[in-house]
A and B are shown apart, each in its own frame.
Chain A
Amino acid sequence: MDYLSFAMDAARRLGADYADIRIQRTQTEMLYLRNLSLKHCNLDELYGYGIRVFKNGAWGFAHNTVFSEEAIEKTVKTAFNIATQSARVAHGTGLTLAHERGYIDTFRSPFSIDPFDIPFAEKIELMREVNQTMLRYNDIKVATFMLECRKDEKLFASTLDSRLDITTVYIEPNFTATAVTAEDSQSRSFREGGHAKGWEWIRSLNLVDKARHVAQEAIMKVHADSLGAEERRTLLLDPIHMSLTMHESVGHPTELDRVLGWEADFAGISFATPEKLRSFQYGSPIVNFVADNTLADGLASAGYDDDGVPNQKWYIVKDGILNEYGTTRATAPFIGQQMSRGCNRATHYYDFPINRIPNLYLEPGKEPLSPNELIADTKDGVLIEGQGSFSIDQHRVNFQFGGDMFWEIKDGKKVRPLKKIIYRSNNPEFWNSVDAICDERYFRTFGVSNCGKGQPGQRGRMTHGGALARFRNIRVGGSQ
């Protein structure tokens, strides 16, 4: 049975202005090992479909797990009825949708070895070896390993005659060693984020070697000093750390739904309002933020978004100036755009697609510059690696970040480890303080797989990246 056509025909018969259906099967394997005890081992499968109907400038959405003509027709009618009711409290004179056409296409994440084809025993064996490696150090009292593998198989059809067959995969390994002394406890983690790659990526990582490194740095960190009171200092931020900073302070503020106030009650709004487009100095002239949903192993790369809009690449910030937003078919018309940038994504079949951050990265520096050269060029500063505490206000202006590992830089050298370091800044002070970015040889990506947004909450995913960058004159100090 061609349920896709059946659903779209039913929507047309009812008089929908637009409709689409997403049939989605999501497989998630989540394994969590703590001190060699497997605390969580789940292989979950969610399968169903969601139908969106657009009528009189308003949306209706209904979902179901029963695949029959009767159930699908009922679900279409429910979505249609909801859209009709929603139109009673229309947004302005009603929403409009940006122009789009239909596509017939397939997309598959670029993986060689499907992580779901790897025997569970092999995964557990690797996780135990990593755990044991970290626990061999006496000061390491807690060792954890979280491994997530996910596959989404999606069939999409719309009344624009789109037919899309999309399969995406990602893997995310995270492990942490915690060193405990009588006075303190400190952790160090291996976190590269999620990558839309196959198991071949895991095999290339040498995780056991990395486990030794993580354990050694956790011990180093627990015995390290902190800094005193907050002072204006130079910061060097590695790409993994910076991925979180750009996610919070560039990615979210440039989601157009937030700019329009659609998230006002929960996630918040944005200071980066439309009158600032193409004039606001978001960062220094060497700061270029690229939105790229065509990025090879990007978590937001899926060929098309859940509006059926093709993946694209564009500048969010160009030469330091706010250039564009991430948009959807429903949000783009509010700023006069004829076409969407394709940022509408849902997590599961039962989720309504929402305006999401695209894959977003800081373009590497154009002049040759290595991390060692950048450190050598820094007289006095703090190098932060990895991700730690993070908190930002609901307009995305004021923020405070920690990190995973900290090093004091003196006279061009890493002189000692530090701990409990935080920095505070705001948009645009922070990105305007960038005076050096390492070149493309040192570009690294980090896939965010747990971006919480929306009501009901959804867990979105996208990839960020960059190369080691230097920020001048930022408020940095020890906590409290």
Chain B
Amino acid sequence: MMQYKDAILKAADYIRAHTSADDFTINGGYNNELHTRFAQNGITQHISGTKTWLSLSVAFGAQTGAAEVNELSEEALKNLIKRAETMAHMNQPDPEFVASEQARDIPKINNYSDATASLSLEDVVSGIQRCVANARGKDARVSGISQRFYGGHCIQTKNGFSGWDDHSTFSHSMTMKRDDVETKVSGSVKDFTTFDMTAMINRLNEQFDALSSPVQHHTGRMPVILRPAAVLDWLWYLMWMYQRRMADDGLSPYSGQIGNEFFGKRFTLRSSIDDAELSTPPFSDNAIVARNINWVNKGVIEEMRVDRDYAKLAGIPANYQANLIVDGGETSEAEMMKMVDNGIIVNRLWYIRSVDQKRGEMTGLTRDGVLYFEDGAVKRAVTNFRWNEIFYDMTRRILALGPSMLIENNARVPAMLIDGFNFVDVTTF
């Protein structure tokens, strides 16, 4: 790995020495990747390789240009500089031009693990063999992917920002299916020594065994228990629209809501640089340094996403969503089922899209196992639903939270019991 880091830093030195731009940002890195995909109990696709990239953004006055290459030869770097600079010279001044970032203190965060980086091809295939053997034991078929990454990312600017981050990730995802019963588990870690394939297979089996041929349930508003993976599914989409500029431009439901209790009191959403288990890139692609952020604190909007351009325009700090944490509670799923007369348990959400941006209305479906419960116990598996919901409004209907759990290497979220979830249609499976 040192060879790639050295090559990228040497390329950055070359650019610094040869660009004539008034201002510049160099963004580069490498990723060594192993992707092993399996389907229907056999490996169908298997990829290995190292990707490198180097991008250069330049400015002459307020005229900007940018280019990117994936090779680091002198000829490629000369072309990179020429392309970015030519583009800037031909450009018109940007009325919202922002100079490159200055030197900053970058938090020291360890996102790298030797155990992950040294994971071999044979190890990964052996892990998949276990998953397939488990599925065969249940007369089922399993499909999924194991992925191992390690690499590094650097940013250097004319104005003194300089950072390098080493990172590694192992992720595993699998869906087991037999006839019309199917369910999925997935997870990722930065340190492979913390990954427990046995626990993941056990969780898959528990979910699988709880399901049976699903029957159709009626639509309408009803209580729902969203398991942590389902909560994370909608959080990504919440954050996509949770931009200060969109709010200030009148394009989202969050217009004029900074400082207001707009979400439910039980809902706290934050990013943290202090959670050692989470992968937390210490800086963003445009050199915003990660910090602790309360996006929503007990329902009150404290910050929305702000990029460097809008930070300058609005005179507010820029920020960066390095990871996501939703504070949890202590209610177990069994206790949640007793808190309402009946309801639906959802493993995951699927195909979430905006329906009405201004109102914040979204649509999507359930996926990978849906259960109906009544009188504190699961009664039967039910077919999937379509739902239309407004996320901020939904958080006002949170009745209980489970413990916050590491779901992916960049997110820690709890299960949620939500009242009056808006199921609008049913599927045939």
Contact = CB atoms under 8 A, between A and B. Distances in A.
B396 to A, nearest CB: 16
B44 A121 contact: no
Given A61-B47, A141-B250, A264-B143, A45 B354 contact: no
B45 A59 contact: yes
Interface in A14-44: 36-44
B138 interface: no
A299 B426 CA distance: 35
Contacts of B29: none
Contacts of A400: 363, 386, 425
B158 interface: no
B204 to A, nearest CB: 11
A82 B46 contact: yes
A264 B39 contact: yes
Contact of B355 (A41, A141, A422): A422
A85 B122 contact: yes
B374 interface: no
Contact of A479 (B86, B356, B428): B356
Given A63-B49, A85-B122, A389 B42 contact: no
A90 interface: yes
Contact of B44 (A45, A65, A141, A262): A262
Interface stretch (A2-10, A159-167, A391-399): A391-399
B351 A391 contact: yes
Interface stretch (A178-186, A195-203, A206-214): A178-186
B51 A350 contact: yes
Contacts of B50: 64
Contact of A393 (B83, B249, B350): B350
A186 B95 CA distance: 25
A79 B34 CA distance: 12
Interface string A122-134: 0010001000000
A62 B251 contact: no
A42 B48 contact: no
B86 to A, nearest CB: 7
Contact of A391 (B70, B79, B129, B363): B363
A47 B70 contact: yes
Interface stretch (B13-21, B107-115, B170-178, B403-411): B170-178
Contacts of B309: 37, 39
Residue among A60, A265, A268 with max Cβ neighbours from chain B (10 Å): A265
B41 to A, nearest CB: 7
A395 B214 CA distance: 15
Contacts of B428: 271, 397-398, 426
Contacts of B353: 389-391
B67 interface: yes
Nearest to A125: B92
A461 interface: no
Contact of B71 (A47, A393, A422, A479): A47
B47 A85 contact: no
B27 to A, nearest CB: 11
A264 B350 contact: no
B69 A391 contact: no
A119 interface: yes
A180 B425 CA distance: 31
A133 to B, nearest CB: 16
A265 B350 contact: no
Given A65-B52, A90-B42, A389-B355, A261 B143 contact: yes
Interface of B: 33, 35-52, 55, 64-71, 79, 83-84, 86-87, 90-92, 94-96, 121-122, 125, 128-129, 132, 141, 143-145, 147, 173-175, 177, 182, 184, 249-251, 309, 350-359, 361, 363-365, 367, 384, 386, 388, 390, 422, 424-429
8 contacts: A86-B125, A91-B43, A262-B40, A264-B141, A393-B386, A394-B350, A400-B363, A480-B361
4 closest pairs, A vs B, by CB?
A91-B42, A63-B49, A264-B143, A262-B39
